[in-house]
Amino acid sequence: MRCATEENYWHFYDDVLSKLRLADELSVPEDVPILVGDGLWRQAFFQEAIRRGALRGRNWFRHDTVVQVERLILAVPMSFQRANLEYALRALDAPKPVPSERRLFLSRSKRRSRSLLNVDDLLPWLAECGFEAVDTDGLTLAAQMKLFGSARVVVGNHGAGLANLVYRVGQPLELVEVFSPNFIRPHFVAMAQMFGFGYDAVVGDAEGSEGDFLIDPEGFKTAVSRAIGRAG
């Protein structure tokens, strides 16, 4: 189950659990030890995940030392596959999403890279539009499932927290993704296309170091207003 980015929340869904999907398709017995990197093992979301659904019956093995084996199975599925995310929902026994008009603004801690520096200027307007500001850091996996399963409109800085959009699959969603100009990636526009979510993007202007950036408030408000309009 090892990969270079294994302890990242998004990559857990698309690059780690997808290996288990492939193992299932190849009928690898459930009691075969599954090697998990130490970085992922120490993540709270992972410890919660392996106590849910089909993952509870697996033989998880913390891979923090040299292991001698007679046979090693290395699963190498493709990333950005709809089947990966659908498998994650089944394996984690995720709750069904619910009809809702809830609006979320997914904030990103300023201690992280790619920080939106003028976010405080945008928050009052977002609050007027009915958005709740949330930060997934510190939330349990179950809480993230419930939160995003009730989200009708999500606005957020590109980051692993947007992986939680998978918990909205089966209900309508509008997403506005905000990018640092130095870090534009296709993860969530791909997810939107897979599952029929509405999508818009806003790219900011670089400011300072670590990929930090500023967003033009008027352009941001226009994109968010479009999403609200599509949501009805």
CATH of 102-231 given 3.40.190.10, 3.40.50.150, 3.30.390.10, 3.40.50.360 = 3.40.50.360
What digits encode the pLDDT tens for the residues 172-228? 999 999 999 999 999 999 999 999 999 999 999 999 878 899 999 999 999 999 999
- For range 2-21, the mean pLDDT: 94
The pLDDT value recorded for residue 107 is 87
- For range 158-165, the mean pLDDT: 96
- For range 138-157, the mean pLDDT: 97
- For range 17-25, the mean pLDDT: 95
**Binning pLDDT at 50, 70 and 90, where does residue 3 land?**
confident
The pLDDT value recorded for residue 101 is 97
pLDDT of 231 higher than 90: yes
The residues near 155 (Cβ < 8 Å, ≥ 6 apart) are 103, 104, 105, 106, 126, 131, 175, 176, 178, 224, 227
Domain boundaries, the chain: 9-91, 102-231
- For range 80-86, the mean pLDDT: 96
The pLDDT value recorded for residue 110 is 73
The pLDDT value recorded for residue 176 is 98
The residues near 154 (Cβ < 8 Å, ≥ 6 apart) are 103, 104, 105, 106, 148, 162, 165, 168, 173, 174, 175, 176
CA angle (72 as vertex; 67, 74 as ends), nearest 5? 115
- For range 75-102, the mean pLDDT: 96
Characterise 114 by phi-psi region: left (phi > 0), alpha (psi -120 to 50), beta (else). Answer: left
Checking DSSP bridges between strand 174-179 and strand 198-203, what pairing results, if any? parallel
The pLDDT value recorded for residue 210 is 81
The pLDDT value recorded for residue 112 is 76
The pLDDT value recorded for residue 121 is 96
What digits encode the pLDDT tens for the residues 49-71? 999 999 999 999 999 999 999 99
What digits encode the pLDDT tens for the residues 98-144? 999 999 999 887 777 889 999 999 999 999 999 999 999 989 999 99
Counting residues of the chain whose pLDDT is more than 70, the rounded percentage is 100
